[in-house]
Amino acid sequence: MKAKLTKPYDIGKGITLSSGTEVEIISVMPMLASTACIIEIDGYGKRIIDTGYLNVDESYRVPNWEQRRYEIAKECVAVLMSSEITLEDAAKVSVKQADALIAELKKGGAK
């Protein structure tokens, strides 16, 4: 997911990124007093940053389709395994079902 810095951020070695710099959020981590994110900064690698420095624009919210595919397939396998089917067959069917559902989701639809 992408975000923009809301204020200047010092990444060390005398380099300060300006407000509005676009970054990629890798993951979110709850901390004791706040929440932090691991971000990827083009040319500077990964950093941990307080979420107070970030603005996530709704237009940046792009689903992680590979993660969704895994989650859907996992649920399908669980359902299929309750019937008379092998794990191998359940896995194949589940991945096909996940791919079909994601294809429909990517099309959009009535909003």
pLDDT for res 109: 57
As a whole-number percent, the residues of the chain with pLDDT over 90 amount to 25
Number of C-beta neighbours around residue 25 at 10 A: 17
Nearest to 44, CA basis, from 23, 74, 19: 23
Q: For 43-93, how does the pLDDT look when each residue is reduced to its tens digit (9 = 90+)?
A: 888 888 888 888 876 555 567 788 888 889 999 998 998 888 999 999 999
Instruction: From residue 108, give the alpha-carbon distance in Å to each of 6, 49, 64, 71, 91.
Output: 31, 33, 15, 19, 26
* In the predicted structure, residue 111 carries a pLDDT above the cut 90: no
